[in-house]
């Protein structure tokens, strides 16, 4: 073993134990339908890593975006069937289910009213908004989800730059019944320093209901190892408000 090997060995991070979460509810593991896994081999490598982290279940959530990823429940559930078969053949024991991550666009409200959406758990609906500006009618949209019987889960809430200096907005959203979801890797500064700051504030004020990997590739898997050593993330794992384990 050379000096280079010794140095690298000291840099190894411990394997995260995320078994307390039980379920990851935000990822992109169905191959070749969005910007996540591109091959079944990719999918299996990512899912195997999640099992190694102690998860007993993943709910993978492909993008549904009118201008980019025109996925449908049929496409997603068909892909899920293939992934589950591959997982079984690979001898993995982790449970794999699917929902979707809905992008707010002109077709999203139509899907809501037609109840043509995929949910997870007890009718939780994962959705995201543009990173540039929030929708003008976001409150009406949240109300519509409630009317239709869905529980609104806003994806990676800490990543929206227009709220990162307006922490009261997070409290307003929660007050409207929105469940706030945070990405694990936000605590590492992977997305931006401001995103890290927002994630820390949300954790310190016990605002997070769901924590998700939002895993697209093996680079995200490596970052989760780094996140696991972060004191804020360790605090989040001990939060009684987290609902992952109920799924």
Domain locations in the chain?
Answer: 19-246
Judge residue 107's burial from the number of C-beta atoms within 10 Å of its C-beta, 0-12 exposed, 13-18 middle, 19 or more buried. Answer: middle
**Can you read off the two tokens belonging to residue 208?**
């997070």
The residue written with tokens 């929902």 in the block is 99
Going from the C-alpha of 217 to that of each of 23, 48, 78, 126, the distances in angstroms are 18, 12, 21, 20
Right CATH for 19-246 from 3.40.449.10, 3.30.1240.10, 3.20.20.140, 3.40.50.620: 3.20.20.140
Residue 3 has pLDDT above 70, yes or no: no
Report the 3 state secondary structure along 129-167. CCCCCCCCCHHHHHHHHHHCCCEEEECCHHHCHHHCCCC
The average pLDDT across 56-76 equals: 97
C-alpha closest to that of 154 among 212, 109, 238: 212
- Cβ contacts of residue 108 below 8 Å, gap of 6+? 102, 127, 141
Residue 67 has pLDDT above 70, yes or no: yes
Report how far residue 22's alpha carbon sits from residue 56's, in angstroms, rounded to the nearest whole number. Answer: 5
Tens-digit pLDDT profile for residues 39-54: 999 999 999 999 999 9
Prediction pTM value: 0.94
- Are the C-beta atoms of 198 and 33 separated by less than 8 Å? no
**Can you read off the two tokens belonging to residue 39?**
């091959």
Question: Sorting pLDDT into bands at 50, 70 and 90, what band is 13?
Answer: confident
Tens-digit pLDDT profile for residues 145-199: 999 999 999 999 999 999 998 999 999 999 999 999 999 999 999 999 999 999 9
pLDDT score, position 225: 98
Beta strands, E only, the chain: 23-24, 57-60, 63-64, 95-98, 101-103, 124-128, 151-154, 179-183, 210-212
DSSP state, 30?
A: S
């Amino acid at each position: 073993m050379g000096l280079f090997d010794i140095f690298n060995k000291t840099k190894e991070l411990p394997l995260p134990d995320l078994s307390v979460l039980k379920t990851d509810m935000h990822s992109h593991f169905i191959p070749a339908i969005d910007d996540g896994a591109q091959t079944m081999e990719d999918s299996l490598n990512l899912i195997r890593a999640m099992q190694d982290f102690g998860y007993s279940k993943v709910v993978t959530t492909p993008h549904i975006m009118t201008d980019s990823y025109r996925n449908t429940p049929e496409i997603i559930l068909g892909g899920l069937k293939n992934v589950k078969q591959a997982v079984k053949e690979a001898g993995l024991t982790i449970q794999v289910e699917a929902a979707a991550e809905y992008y707010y666009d002109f077709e999203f409200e139509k899907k809501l009213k037609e109840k043509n959406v995929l949910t997870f758990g007890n009718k939780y609906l994962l959705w995201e908004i543009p990173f540039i500006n929030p929708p003008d009618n976001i409150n009406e949209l949240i109300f519509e989800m409630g009317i239709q019987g869905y529980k609104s889960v806003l994806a990676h809430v800490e990543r929206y730059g227009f709220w990162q200096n307006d922490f009261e907005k997070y409290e307003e959203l929660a007050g409207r019944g929105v469940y706030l979801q945070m990405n694990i890797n936000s605590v590492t500064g992977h997305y931006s320093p401001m995103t890290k700051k927002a994630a820390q504030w949300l954790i310190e004020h016990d605002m997070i209901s769901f924590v998700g990997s939002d895993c697209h590739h093996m680079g995200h898997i490596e970052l989760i190892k780094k996140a696991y050593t972060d004191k804020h993330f360790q605090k989040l794992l001990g939060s009684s408000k987290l609902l992952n384990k109920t799924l």
